[in-house]
Amino acid sequence: MAKKRSTKTRRKMPASRLWFISGMTTLAFTSLILRMGYLQVVQGATYRTDASNVAVVSTPVLPPRGYIYSSNGTILARDQYIYDAYLARVPHVHQDYRKMAELLAPIFHTTVQKLLQKMNTSPLSPQVRIAQNLSYTAISYISEHHHQLPGIEIQTDYVRQYPLGDLAGHILGYVGPITPQNESYYVNKLHYLNNQTVGETGIEAEYNKYLEGKAGYEQYLIHSNGSVKSLGLLPPPQSGDNIQLTINSAYQAEAQKIVSDFIQRDDVMRYEINSASAVVLNVKTGAVLALVSYPFYNPNWFVDGNLMKHEKYLNQTSALIDNAIQSPEYPGSSVKPANALAGLETGTITPNTIVDDKGYLKIGNRIFHNWYLPGFGPVNVILALEHSDDTFFYQLGMWFGGWTNQHYPNHESYTQWVKTRFVKAMDTIFGWEYKFGLGQLTGIDLPGEVKGQFYEEDTKKNYEEVPYPLLKAEASMKKYGYFNNWGALPDLAFADIGQSQEFTPIEMAQYVMTLADKGVKYRPYILKAIYPANEVPGAPGSKPIYTMHPKVQARIQLNPKDLHAVYQGMYLMANAPGGLLYQGGFAGSPYHAAGKTGTAQIVLNGKRVDDSVTIAFAPFHHPQIAIAVMVPGGGASTTTASHIAHRLFNAYFEMHHEYFPQSQWLSDHFQATAWLHSFAYKQPEEGVLP
Amino acid sequence: MVLACLDEMEGRCFVETLRRNIRDMDFTVLGVLVLLAVYSCVAILAATYGKTDVGLPKHIIYRQILFEMIGWIAMTAITLYDYRSLRKNYWWIIGGAGFLLLVVFVMPRRNGAHSWIPLGPFSFQPSEVAKLAMIIGMAVFMADIDESEVPDYSFRRVWPLLIMFIVPFVLTFKEPALGQALVLLAIFVTMYCVFAKRWHFVMLIFFTIALVAGIGVVAVMYPQESTKLIENVLIKHHLLHSYQAYRIITWLNPQEYPLSYGYNIRISQIAVGSGQVFGEGLFNGIETRGNWIPNQWTDYIFTAIAEEFGFVGSSLLVLLFLILCYRLIRIAGTSQDSFGTYIVTGIVALIAFQVFENIGADMYLSPSTGITLPFISYGGSSLVIDYMGVGLALSVALRRKKLRFN
């Protein structure tokens, strides 16, 4: 075998091929050595220099946030350019933090200890911010002493500013750092950087994704001697979009002035009003023209680092709550137009149905008084609305439940009645209010809206007020024909005069706007349009990337005759000498409004007080705006709310140069100086604390 | 001589053979390997000195010394083992390597690739085994053809060679480990060069040169267009992973992505160049100490040597590799059978290609593909496999044809 193999091993083993392979290997390795020689010997000195320019550090560059404009072009929120000092950690360079801190501490108006602490935070990150919003002295000191301060760099940053202070503060909201609570949303889901600023409340939060923009990166070449050279932005940051609101800054300022000035009047001061709100809607679209929540707060407090100074004020006044969308209150008689329509549309009454008001109605063994003790005598629905007659609506409420002549219908027992006829009646009253937007979210584009609530008195719980689940009751009635609950007999009377429900001012505004629109229910909204980062709303050539369109949420079918009766009542209330609105300020207006007042008994700080409410729209014949005003603790409707509403109408028409003589016209240009000197601007700063 | 030995007791025969052959042992190879081991340990120390990277293994130098010891033991064992037995047992090796190459795909990804099989505190790279297995498999097949009654070198007969190459190549490429796949290609081409008929050899060389020159000329003359071709064809159709393609793009045009894909190339070239003639000194390299070079203890180990020991230190390293390759080629030439020749040729190809590719990438001479520098880079799998490869060569050397006069 062995022999055979040796003979069969063909060709003298491939020596030539192996030579070829050695040749190739030699060639390859020689080229390596030649290349080394070129790089290390010939070019070595150049590379040795380059070696010091070693670090390419990329630092995030945050984009400027979009501006917020009013509908008439006033800047409500903007990003201000500031200078910050950073410490870049440079390898191979001896950085004596203590020595640098000693030099810089007096410049930054801080102590060496505090500065050192900042310099030593997050030791692994390539750079750390050590001072914010540098003064020009600090900037020039750093540039002059650069050689003593290796790695100290000045960079630009942005801070949010609200140039008009508390003007529309509740609408705008404010921005802040990403918190542990919203970190999972912004950082994990949207991939924001941890140091990005985000909207915390208001429009800033609602439209954060447009305002935010996108972070970019600046690439730096760090030299071993401590100097830093920028290689440019890769990718550059994308500025946030600009947002325009439906709010008119001049009108919003006027509205805030009207509310705060009126509450501060000597004769009103005695009511100790803690809060108030007013909403003005464009009847044709649902756009919010002004939205006032008193007391005011200044969103700048949350971005300028002086929040501590204002904490006491904020805690004691709860000024951070946007009462207009977050504070449901008893509406009182202002729900009567809806309830009257419920009666008319269900055929429970006709426009000619008469109730003889003797000043009270006896229900069971209890007496329920009209607010006007002598009573108005025989009234129909129109007069009942004009005078806000309680007796009429007590009676209507009881009729809904089939309760006539002090008797349950068909000699039913209470237990049987409360599960069926009572529920049907409550569902009729509350259901019609619900149709108009009361007791449900309006869908306004602001975060944190709270919805109103319906109540009944629980006979099993000593007549304690408990929530009445309207939708559940309706569903149960439909499915089983009954709904288990322990409501009290007079609940129907209470509900019909607005003492068994709580609604927010925005709900009330949507309700009166829907009345003015003959049953067409628009969604209230604040965003007018979104513009690209570099375009100013209203400037020639600027084009929005998004425009909000009015949205009809529902169309309520109403018999024109019924609506006419209700309109008449609401018209007389504002225009007839017997009407409460007429008496409460609307007398002699050059325009004709229609509306309804409300005075509800509420408990505030342990005291029994009144919630002063007014809803109204004007002009009566071609409605332009609808207004809702609620002042808990403001006394009767005609003491505060109706006056505020009246002034809001006046201001609107004076700005629109309608009805009023030219001498009384107001400019619709925003008067910044006047605003900055107004009490409404200074109010949160000076405080309304006792 | 061999016949005489057969008459004696087996044990004595073995010792006698060893005693006689110990003089035939290639001490130059062993000496070079000792020097390379010293280089490796010093370079790893330099590349990891004072660093606290997340991916940096703890006690890296002790682990490397342990791998060196395992490598030397494995090499010694294989040297004493008669390589000719592989001709009977090669299916076990090929089957085992193929199995491991498949198993690796169900392992968790590390650095984006299915390249590792975890084994307790260590992990292991099947593509390293695949290289050795392919060498053995091809060598057996080539030797069988050489020794057949009527040697037939036409494609009709030699196509299984292509299968032996394509299967591991595709599996490795899919891991993805582009570098390892290219090593397989280099081994295949080199072994086939030695095996092929003259005419085939000429054709192969001609086409290889034409292809390399063609790509080179086009790439140098039209870097923009080449870049576009890669982006629009290779990446779009997923022929290459985008990071692999961008390594080639940055090699064509280093200015293209200076901060992202081009960073490694730029920074390693600076590190090499700044070493100058005598280097910046141990633990003194600006780039090395500053930890600017990613994964410096594995794929970029050469930059540590070049920066801290300069031209003198790095050219000495290349010379050591050149000596090693020469000695191995000598063994290939003096093998008693063509099987030994092919094995050693494959091992030379493995070492030489990896050295050129790895060091070349650091100096902007070849595209960076992510393979280790044999005997120097940190890592057990590649080190032990390299030692086993040299062990096979030494096994061939011990049994080479030689006139003996005792």
A58 part of contact set with chain B, CB < 8 Å: yes
Q: Beta partners for A653?
A: none
* Encoded tokens for B301: 């180990």
Per-residue pLDDT at A471: 95
Contacting residues of A for B306, CB less than 8 Å apart: 36, 40
pLDDT in tens, A11-58: 445 678 899 999 999 999 999 999 999 999 999 988 888 777 666 667
CB contact under 8 A, A51 and B271: yes
CA proximity to A200, closest of A220, A216, A181 = A181
* Encoded tokens for B102: 């498949």
* Arithmetic mean of pLDDT over chain B: 85
Per-residue pLDDT at A673: 86
Give the rounded percent of residues in chain B with a pLDDT score beyond 70.
88
* Encoded tokens for A682: 């200074």
Where are chain B's structural domains?
A: 25-398
Shortest Cα distance from A234 to chain B (angstroms)?
9
* Encoded tokens for B46: 């330099």
Nearest to B277 among A13, A28, A44 (CB): A44
Q: Report DSSP letters for A241-254, one per residue.
A: PEEEES--HHHHHH
CA atoms lying within 13 Å on the CB side of residue A635: 15
The arithmetic mean of pLDDT across residues B217-236, rounded, is: 77
Per-residue pLDDT at A297: 92
Per-residue pLDDT at B152: 84
A230 part of contact set with chain B, CB < 8 Å: no
CATH 3.30.559.10 holds for A249-325+506-519+559-682: no
Shortest Cα distance from B311 to chain A (angstroms)?
6
pLDDT in tens, A319-361: 999 999 999 999 999 999 999 999 999 999 999 999 999 999 9
The arithmetic mean of pLDDT across residues A544-563, rounded, is: 95
CB contact under 8 A, A36 and B315: yes
Q: Given 3-state DSSP classes, what are the helix, strand and coil percentages for chain B, each rounded to the nearest 5?
A: 70, 0, 30
* Arithmetic mean of pLDDT over chain A: 89
Residue A602 predicted with pLDDT over 80: yes
Instruction: Name the closest residue on chain B to residue A17, using Cα atoms.
Output: B194
> pLDDT higher for B265 or A210?
A210
Q: Whole-angstrom Cα distance, residue B285 to residue B306? A: 9
Extended strands (E) in A535-588: 546-547, 552-555
Per-residue pLDDT at A272: 80
CATH architecture label of A333-502: 3-Layer(aba) Sandwich (3.40)
Residues of chain A with CATH 3.40.710.10: 333-502
- The interface predicted TM-score of the complex, written ipTM, equals 0.90
Residues of chain A with CATH 3.90.1310.10: 57-245
A26 part of contact set with chain B, CB < 8 Å: yes
Residue A7 predicted with pLDDT over 50: no
Confidence of residue A90 (pLDDT cuts 50, 70, 90): low
Cβ within 8 Å of A, B 384-403: none
Q: Whole-angstrom Cα distance, residue B237 to residue A404? A: 84
Confidence of residue B402 (pLDDT cuts 50, 70, 90): low
* Encoded tokens for A560: 């024109």
Q: How many residues does chain B have?
A: 406
Which helix (DSSP H) or strand (DSSP E) does residue A478 occupy? Answer: helix A470-480
Per-residue pLDDT at B22: 72
Burial A471-503 (b: 16+ CB within 10 A, else e): eebbebbeeeebbebbbbbbbbbbbbbbbbbbb
Q: Whole-angstrom Cα distance, residue A381 to residue A429? A: 16
Per-residue pLDDT at B20: 65
pLDDT in tens, A382-414: 999 999 999 999 999 999 999 888 888 888 899
pLDDT in tens, A64-78: 999 999 999 999 999
Residue B8 predicted with pLDDT over 60: no
A551 part of contact set with chain B, CB < 8 Å: no
Confidence of residue A6 (pLDDT cuts 50, 70, 90): very low
pLDDT in tens, A232-275: 787 888 999 999 999 999 999 999 999 999 988 878 777 888 89
Confidence of residue B261 (pLDDT cuts 50, 70, 90): low
Confidence of residue B356 (pLDDT cuts 50, 70, 90): very high
Per-residue pLDDT at A469: 95
A234 part of contact set with chain B, CB < 8 Å: yes
Give the rounded percent of residues in chain A with a pLDDT score beyond 70.
94
* Encoded tokens for A186: 């912004």
Residue A195 to residues A157, A177, A186, B230, B341: CA-CA distances in angstroms? 12, 7, 11, 38, 64
Give the rounded percent of residues in chain A with a pLDDT score beyond 90.
62
> pLDDT higher for B280 or A219?
B280
Instruction: Tokens 């439209």: give the residue.
Output: A207
Residue B102 predicted with pLDDT over 70: yes
A80 part of contact set with chain B, CB < 8 Å: no
Overall CATH class of domain A57-245: alpha beta
Q: Report DSSP letters for A184-237, one per residue.
A: IIIIIIS---TT-EEE-SHHHHHTHHHHS-B-EEEEEEEPTTS-EEEEEESSPP
Inter-chain Cβ pairs, chain A and chain B, closer than 8 A: 148
pLDDT in tens, B282-299: 988 888 877 778 888 988
**Global model pTM greater than 0.90:** no
Nearest to A22 among B267, B287, B329 (CB): B329
What does DSSP assign to residue B265? Answer: H
User: Which residues, other chains included, contact A235 with Cβ-Cβ below 8 Å and sequence gap of 6+?
Assistant: A216, A217
* Encoded tokens for A206: 């609602």
* Three-point CA angle A184, A185, A186, nearest 5°: 100
Q: Whole-angstrom Cα distance, residue A568 to residue A484? A: 39
What does DSSP assign to residue A632? Answer: E
